[in-house]
Amino acid sequence: MSFPGNFLWGGAVAANQCEGGYLEDGKALSVPDMLLGGNVNTPRTFLPQIDDSAFYPSHEAIDFYHHYKEDIALFAEMGFNVFRLSINWARIFPNGDDDKPNEAGLAFYDAIFDECAKYGIEPLVTLCHYEIPWNIVTKYGGFSNRKTIDLFLKYTETVFKRYKDKVKYWLTFNELNITCREIHGGQHALFSLGLMDEEDINSKERIPLSKLKTNPQRMFEALHNAFVASALAVKMGHEINPDFMIGNMIAHRTYYPLTPNPADIMACLKEDEVGNGLTGDVQVRGEYPSYIFRFFKENNIDPSFITEEDKQILKEGTVDMYTFSYYQSSCTSTDPSAERTQGNMGTGIKNPYLKASDWGWQIDPEGLRYTLNKLHDRYPHTPLMVVENGFGAFDTVEEDGSIHDPYRIDYFRSHFKAMSEAIEDGVPLIGYTTWGPIDLVSAGTGEYAKRYGFIYVNRHDDGTGDFSRSKKDSFYWYKKVIESNGKDLD
Ligand code: BGP
């Protein structure tokens, strides 16, 4: 086993999925505050105004807002030396366009970073993890408006300057690339870019996320503006503190051709290029890849939004590290009748060699080694970090309060083996954070029941539970893994 001595081991959360305190201390609404819960068979719904009679999982989430000291102490007990979290933009600039930042919001993150420092834990901070202030959506049209680039940079400058001596590792946007996989669907356009169709904004009815509308032209323009915002943030960060390590964050879906039919192989290449490659290439190489212009043409997208000045910005704002989430792989096929996995948003074409989780996410540890190798090939000079990986499952609390989760341990064990193989292969993997080291609200389904944590949280989809924390078997197992720097996986 071959993890380097300074390897970063930890866990990752997002503000809207754990904090709660949704209107406390000056925070205003952000996109996820408007989302109701669903489950594997029922999509989450969106209502453009708050319905006081409905249950919104993110409003209290797991109440990290009031439990952060206890939670960070538990992370420290497991031996974390890194903790990935996001800053909720709407805590700092509640409406996105306020003149001055909200001091109470800034103080909250100061307190978190100070708590991390007490235990020698490095924060890894995502600037925008599906948390665009709602006012930016309704008043400016999210990132479809270039004014939003300025608003994002004002927020970014504020937090970079405030925390420059407390935070070294930053990520600009979470998983911008998912938007490219659903160019006619509006879910991720809303989550990541704050884009909403006028008709949807004015809806009086709940809209299932899968029915939100967008159009590819507007979506790619907004994505481009987010690329520019990200590049300008990287440049600014390096000016504020040259020691900052600033990364992108890609939702990596690994694709395999379903058959050796060359048509499937080509389809697989194309899906990977658009679904993973475009965002990574722009953010790591600093330019749009040539293959995307044919895709634009075939989808009637006019790329004239890419100006000469923007091209220069993208060149100057390339990231210091490529980070990504990895949960699963899927297949690509030109056969329209190819069987798909049953599940929520992570569905894809079924791989006959793989098992899937209860949410239809196909479990593929070998695919992580493959992905790490491919990414290193593609970006040979860029360090890599896995910043989300984990197993969403139903957990059972025994009568004595214990929680036995061997399925989660098995998932992690096999993925850690795959990472160590990749390191042996020569991949510069610098760190790893599990998704949801503590149970939290699922982004895809809005459930508590889809649990990822080493730490159980007593909170349920019917709104019951006292938010108390307890340790699952996997808690002790991960502690041992970190203590042995990945050697002891038994
Ligand atoms: C990623 C998101 C996370 C997280 C994770 C698991 O795409 O960055 O926010 O939620 O997926 O997904 P889910 O919560 O749907 O199980």
Write down the domain spans for the chain.
8-483
- Which helix or strand (DSSP H or E) is residue 419 part of? helix 406-424
Q: What is the pTM of this model?
A: 0.97
Q: Tokens representing 101?
A: 């930042």
- Going from the Cα of 38 to the center of ligand 1, the distance in angstroms, rounded, reads 14
- Going from the Cα of 442 to the center of ligand 1, the distance in angstroms, rounded, reads 6
- Going from the Cα of 66 to the center of ligand 1, the distance in angstroms, rounded, reads 23
Mean pLDDT over residues 12-19, rounded? Answer: 98
- Residues counted in the chain: 490
Q: What percentage of the chain carries pLDDT values higher than 90? A: 94
- Cβ of 392 closer than 6 Å to ligand 1, yes or no, is yes
Decide: 331 and 255 in contact? Cβ < 8 Å.
yes
Whether the predicted pLDDT of 341 surpasses 90: no
Return the pLDDT at 185. Answer: 83
Return the pLDDT at 344. Answer: 67
Whether the predicted pLDDT of 345 surpasses 70: no
Q: Dump pLDDT digits (tens) for 54-95.
A: 999 999 999 999 999 999 999 999 999 999 999 999 999 999
- Cβ of 411 closer than 6 Å to ligand 1, yes or no, is no
pLDDT band at 40 (very low <50, low <70, confident <90, very high): confident
Q: Which of 16, 325, 357, 411 to mutate to test the pocket of ligand 1 (most atoms within 8 A of CB)?
A: 325
Whose CA is closest to atom 2 on ligand 1?
A: 443
Q: Dump pLDDT digits (tens) for 147-206.
A: 999 999 999 999 999 999 999 999 999 999 999 988 888 899 999 999 999 999 999 999
DSSP structure string for 42-95:
S--EE-SS--TTS--HHHHTT-HHHHHHHHHHHHHHHT-SEEEEE--HHHHSTT
Mean pLDDT of the chain: 96
Return the pLDDT at 331. Answer: 95
Return the pLDDT at 471. Answer: 98
Cα gap 477→481, rounded to integer Å: 6
**CATH architecture group of domain 8-483:** Alpha-Beta Barrel (3.20)
pLDDT band at 346 (very low <50, low <70, confident <90, very high): low
- Amino acid identity of residue 142, one-letter, is G
Return the pLDDT at 335. Answer: 95
Mean pLDDT over residues 369-383, rounded? Answer: 98
Return the pLDDT at 26. Answer: 98
- Going from the Cα of 481 to the center of ligand 1, the distance in angstroms, rounded, reads 24
Whose CA is closest to atom 7 on ligand 1?
A: 251
> To which residue do tokens 């952060």 refer?
68
Whether the predicted pLDDT of 289 surpasses 80: yes
